[in-house]
């Protein structure tokens, strides 16, 4: 309960920092469907430091958020010298799963095609996401059935980073997560068809799971369940436990991008892990 209250009290400081971020980079907005939420924002750094591209899926409990709201993440990542694509998707409860996954897969395909049209090398992609975005991004990376259903090729993905993801739908989840899952799925829907730990297959994509033991919303054991399944399959996995003072759910999943690498160990881990990635086939 204490961690849940800390999460609730953290929002004022988080929003205050969000609105103070300077918009140095003006992203390009690209639609990939008729719905207003089906678009992505692409950020081009002034001086790219790497040929790796970060594709990011936003969080928000599946029922809130969009790439524009999380512009500060793009500002941070582009500021580190990385090309960055932030993908939007239709939200619940109006839109039930798997529409969110369909949009993420379509957005990924459109982003890759868009970058290729610009003459940008797309052979080294890191897929990342916080919270609900980690849930969707992990299925994009590790579900063969999703690859077949939505015609997604992830051979160019060299890493996955998930922060605070509900990878397993445990019975001991918080009331908040149970309510959000109730909005996401139709009544009677087989939720294993949307559960990352149940959908994970053998993969070449290494993963970094960033999780806090003081989350307050998503049980730390969700990451442990995902790590266990990854190791059983032989998928490279690192589980990183947050040690920063701001270790509540919203702060360490997305709020870390409001700080610097010197200020935030989780953010430094995020970029350090990307810097270490090499193509593995």
Domains of the chain, by residue range, sit at 2-276
Peptide linkage before 93 cis (omega within 30 of 0): yes
| pLDDT at 281 > cutoff 70 | no
- Closest by CA position to 68, among listed 104, 115, 27, 114: 27
pLDDT in tens, 214-226: 999 999 999 999 9
Q: Cβ distance 85 to 78 under 8 Å?
A: no
Q: Is 263 left (phi over 0), alpha (psi -120 to 50) or beta?
A: alpha
Digit-coded pLDDT (tens) for 249-265: 999 999 999 999 999 99
Give the tens place of pLDDT for each residue, 119-133.
Answer: 999 999 999 999 999
> How far apart are the C-alpha atoms of 240 and 109, rounded to whole Å?
29
Query: In terms of Cα–Cα distance, which of 182, 199, 158 is closest to 63?
Result: 182
Residue 33 and residue 95: Cα distance in Å, rounded?
15
Residue 7 has pLDDT above 90, yes or no: no
pTM: 0.95
What's the Cα-to-Cα distance from 91 to each of 63, 164, 214, rounded to whole Å?
Answer: 5, 19, 27
- Contact of 254 with 70, CB cutoff 8 Å: yes
The CATH class for the domain spanning 2-276 reads alpha beta
* R_g (Cα) of the chain, nearest Å: 17
Q: Which two tokens stand for residue 31?
A: 């639609």
């Amino acid at each position: 309960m204490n961690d849940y209250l800390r999460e609730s009290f953290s929002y004022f400081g988080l929003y205050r920092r969000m609105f103070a971020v300077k918009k140095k980079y003006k992203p390009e907005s690209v639609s990939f469907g008729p719905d207003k939420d089906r678009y992505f924002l692409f950020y081009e750094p002034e001086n790219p430091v790497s040929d790796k591209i970060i594709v990011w899926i936003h969080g928000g409990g599946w029922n809130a958020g969009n790439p524009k709201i999380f512009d500060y993440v793009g500002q941070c990542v582009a500021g580190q010298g990385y090309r960055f694509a932030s993908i939007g998707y239709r939200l619940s409860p109006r839109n039930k799963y798997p529409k969110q996954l369909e949009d993420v897969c379509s957005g990924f395909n459109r982003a890759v095609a868009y970058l290729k049209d610009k003459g940008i090398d797309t052979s080294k992609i890191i897929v990342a996401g916080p919270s609900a975005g980690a849930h969707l991004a992990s299925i994009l990376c590790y579900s063969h059935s999703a690859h077949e259903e939505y015609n997604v090729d992830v051979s160019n993905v060299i890493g996955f980073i998930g922060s605070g993801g509900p990878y397993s739908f445990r019975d001991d989840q918080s009331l908040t997560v149970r309510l959000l899952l109730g909005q996401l799925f139709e009544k009677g829907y087989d939720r294993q068809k949307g559960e990352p730990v149940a959908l994970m297959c053998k993969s070449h994509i290494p993963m970094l799971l960033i999780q806090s033991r003081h989350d307050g919303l998503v049980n730390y054991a969700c990451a442990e369940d995902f790590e266990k399944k990854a190791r059983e399959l032989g998928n490279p996995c690192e589980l990183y436990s947050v040690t920063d003072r701001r270790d509540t759910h919203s702060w360490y999943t997305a709020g870390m991008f409001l700080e610097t690498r010197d200020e935030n160990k989780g953010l430094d881990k995020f970029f350090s892990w990307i810097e270490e990635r090499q193509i593995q086939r």
